[in-house]
Amino acid sequence: MTWNGRAAGALLGVVAVLSLFVVVSLLPGRAEAPQAAAPVDPIELEPAPGDLIARCGDDGGSGVAQDRTFAYCLSEESIVLADALQSWTAGSLDGSPTVALTFIDGPTGIDLVNDLAPSCLARSPDRCPTGQVAVVFGRAVLSAPTIAAPSFAPDQIVVANPLSTDRMIPSDVFPDAVAQSTLHPVLWTAPLDG
């Protein structure tokens, strides 16, 4: 074999190894085991006024949760994130903590969200009239985004803690609190006096 033949053979060997690496890298990986959320202490808030709690019950809500500014009347419908998530990843956007959620594919995971999303997008009066879904930890609302799409991929949802000056929960425990939360359609919101 000449030098050119050896070089060509070595080059083909390198290409074969690189091709194998690319193929192995592109193969789907195994599903990650769910992360275990570190226990997070409940958030201490003054209870919402009794008239708001009574009104929520009269309107068919399951109860009132709140952040530091608003009371949220929650639908009885809920999604328990600890049961529906495959994994989550902490992040940050413009200085506010975020949590990228990866739902289990199928009826015990992302299908639960995708069943609810069209009702919130359409602001269905009997299911999700505000278009919002509250991320509720205990009785505290960590985030209450408005749904802006009719469906989501399992890894497309990111929860942000938008309260940059007076966050409900410290940034370092926010991801674990979200993972221990439930999602509820919001029937109505009302400002808290104070």
- pLDDT by residue for the chain (194 residues), tens only, comes to 444 444 444 333 333 333 222 332 223 333 444 566 677 777 778 888 899 999 999 999 999 999 888 999 999 999 999 999 999 998 888 877 889 999 999 999 999 999 999 999 999 999 999 999 999 998 899 989 999 999 999 999 998 876 544 567 777 888 888 999 999 999 999 998 75
Phi/psi of residue 136, nearest 5 degrees: -110, 125
pTM comes to: 0.77
Calpha distance 59→51 (Å, rounded) = 12
Task: Classify residue 64 as exposed, middle or buried by CB count within 10 Å of its CB (0-12, 13-18, 19+).
Answer: buried
Calpha distance 36→179 (Å, rounded) = 9
